[in-house]
Amino acid sequence: MSDTPDILEMENSPETANFRKNRLMLWETIIATYKDYIEDAKKAGASDEQAKRGAGKYVRVEIRMLCSDILTRAPIEAIVKFLETTRDWVDESENLITDPKANAALVELITSSYPHRTWAKRIDVVTKAIAEDNASWSGWVRSWTDEIGEAAGTAVKGAGEAVGGFGKMLGALGSGAARLLEWGPTILVGASVLGVVTVVAVAARK
């Protein structure tokens, strides 16, 4: 018997519906907190820029915790799609609020996630202490990058002459993996992710 939960069963379960609803409500709460901070800061005499910068830092930890949770529960192809749309969320997580496309991408990612992990086996849960410390957060992202790289690499290697929807996912994986490399100095991309890029390139040539 496999330890991996059945995707179809989870997709149609009340538990999954409740999980997604809960995470969407949490995201709305974070957005409301961000907006309230800006309003209060302006009333206290802060400029618009100062208020937004302060609000971003104020909600950054909560956004990191939410994203880390969803990024270990969503399917790989959904994560790739999210990475194609979003930029700089690792360092400046508040961009997921201020950029409408990034906001929509996160909402879509949440609505594709499950209450139980499917591919993520080793990655730790991000605690508030980890999310608050930039070095610890960077370390978590490196570990996540390594594991999703390995999982994606396995999917690509096992695809063979895949066509149709999965074939399209492989094409997206190439640009998604490339996006990982653009996250900047905060992330030291693991060799496994570079391996995924190589695998995708070889698969594409075949």
Q: Residue ranges of the domains in the chain?
A: 7-205
Higher pLDDT, 183 or 6: 6
Counting residues of the chain whose pLDDT is more than 90, the rounded percentage is 49
CA distance 81 to 70: 13
Q: How far is CA 34 from CA 15, 62, 96, 118, 176, in A?
A: 29, 11, 11, 32, 29
User: Above 50 in pLDDT, residue 22?
Assistant: yes
Average pLDDT value over all residues in the chain: 77
CA dihedral sign of residues 126, 129, 133, 136:
negative
> Which carries the bigger pLDDT value, residue 39 or residue 1?
39
Of 10-14, 17-21, 81-85, 165-169, the range with the highest mean pLDDT is 17-21
Per-residue model confidence (pLDDT) at position 81: 85
Identify the band that residue 198 occupies on the pLDDT scale cut at 50, 70 and 90. Answer: very low
Q: Where are the alpha helices (DSSP H) in the chain?
A: 7-11, 14-43, 48-70, 76-85, 95-98, 100-110, 128-132, 134-157, 164-180, 191-205
In which band, very low, low, confident or very high, does the pLDDT at 194 lie, cut at 50, 70 and 90? very low
Per-residue pLDDT reduced to its tens digit, 122-139? 888 899 999 999 999 989
Q: What single DSSP character describes residue 88?
A: S
pLDDT at 71: 94
CA terminus-to-terminus distance, the chain: 34
pLDDT of 13 reads 92
For residue 99, the model assigns a pLDDT of 94
CA gap 75, 48 in Å, rounded: 38
Tens digits of residue pLDDT in 142-183 = 889 888 888 876 655 444 433 333 344 334 444 444 444 443
Residue 154, pLDDT score: 61
Asked whether 137 and 64 are in contact (CB, 8 A), the reply is yes
pLDDT at 45 over 50: yes
* pLDDT above 70: residue 46: yes
Identify the weakest region by mean pLDDT among 16-25, 132-141, 178-187.
178-187
